[in-house]
């Protein structure tokens, strides 16, 4: 196993409910829109990956009030840029911590010389800010490749982002393993040919994870054990490098 490729939102940190959703609502208010995405509404909108795509999906789904604009794509992009500023501010304020076990596994893999990479739908600035403020200043240097957002034409569940990261790493899917949190993410990594471990979260726990090599509730810590939801019944209590390698080797 040469590399572990991590998803970001929902995997490295629980960013959606109290992070991205709050940032979207702040951007909508700044723009004078009466749009408010509730936790329930946002859970439905998460079916569409990508913030700009999600705004367009909301417009088509709910037909909300908004000003007449001559270039809808440009208007959405501007609204989304404002949302990204708010999201980065939340990260800078330390509002969004890493999930249980993430720092531990990243550190173990880094110290063992395993290549680390990221394959995410989110905007690159969000990844940099998360690593800088939720992990440690300079943490971005631990990742050989960060594939994010609009770098590829098609977002998850398309495999584009994982194909891109594998190509940039110069590795085959068989030499790597992916860690994801959602059905869209798993569809993307499986289509790229990657063995995948899933750590679910509040928004994704009821989704279909057929094809995942292992599904856990979290990576876990020695005082906060993980639980196996799907896959092997190893006698492990945290997702560590040995378990990741064991899953990869099957
Ligand atoms: C999750 C996404 C992203 C975020 C919002 O990405 O679909 O769109 O919800 O971020 P992943 P942006 O799970 O692949 O990390 O608004 O920057 O898209
Ligand atoms: Mg995710």
Mean pLDDT by groups of 10 residues along the chain of 250 residues: 98 98 98 98 98 98 96 98 98 98 98 98 98 98 98 98 98 98 98 98 98 98 97 87 96
Nearest atom of ligand 1 to the alpha carbon of 182: 13
CB-based contact 143:114 (threshold 8 Å) = no
Catalytic residues: 7, 9
Question: Would you state the pLDDT for residue 9?
Answer: 98
The ligand placed nearest to the CA atom of residue 146 is 1
The answer to whether the predicted template modeling score (pTM) of the entire model surpasses 0.85 is yes
Question: Would you state the pLDDT for residue 234?
Answer: 74
- Domains of the chain in start order, with CATH, are 3-15+97-249 (3.40.50.1000), 16-92 (1.10.150.240)
The ligand placed nearest to the CA atom of residue 50 is 1
Using a 6 Å CB cutoff, which residues line ligand 1?
7-10, 16, 20, 49-51, 120-123, 126, 156, 185
Buried b vs exposed e over 193-218: b needs ≥16 C-beta within 10 Å? ebbbbbbbbebbeebebeebbbbbbb
Distance 185 CA to ligand 1 centre (A): 10
Output the six-digit token pair for 151: 């770098």
Q: Which residues contact 135 (CB under 8 A, 6 or more apart)?
A: 98, 103, 106
Question: Would you state the pLDDT for residue 250?
Answer: 87
Mutate to test the pocket of ligand 1, among 90, 121, 181 (most ligand atoms within 8 A of CB): 121
């Amino acid at each position: 196993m040469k590399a572990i490729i991590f998803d970001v939102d929902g995997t490295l940190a629980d960013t959606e409910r109290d992070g991205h959703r709050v940032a979207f609502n702040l951007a909508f208010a700044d723009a004078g829109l009466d749009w408010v995405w509730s936790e329930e509404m946002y859970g439905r909108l998460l079916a569409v990956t990508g913030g700009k795509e999600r705004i367009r999906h909301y417009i088509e789904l709910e037909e909300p009030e908004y000003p007449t604009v001559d270039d809808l794509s440009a208007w959405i992009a501007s609204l989304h840029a404002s949302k990204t500023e708010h999201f980065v501010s939340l990260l800078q304020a330390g509002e969004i911590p890493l999930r249980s076990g993430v720092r531990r596994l990243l550190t173990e893999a880094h110290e063992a010389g395993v290549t680390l990479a990221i394959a995410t739908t989110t905007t690159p600035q969000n990844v940099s800010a998360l690593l800088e403020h939720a992990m440690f200043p300079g943490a971005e240097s631990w990742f050989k490749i960060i594939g994010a957002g609009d770098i590829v034409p098609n977002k998850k569940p398309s495999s584009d982002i994982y194909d891109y990261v594998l190509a940039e790493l110069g590795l085959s899917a068989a030499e790597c393993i992916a860690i994801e949190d959602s059905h869209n993410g798993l569809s993307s990594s499986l289509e790229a040919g990657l063995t995948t471990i899933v750590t679910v979260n509040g928004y994704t726990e009821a989704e279909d994870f057929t094809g995942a090599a292992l599904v856990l509730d979290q990576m876990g810590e020695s005082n906060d054990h993980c639980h196996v939801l799907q896959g092997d019944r190893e006698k492990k209590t945290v997702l560590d490098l040995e378990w990741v390698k064991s899953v990869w080797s099957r």
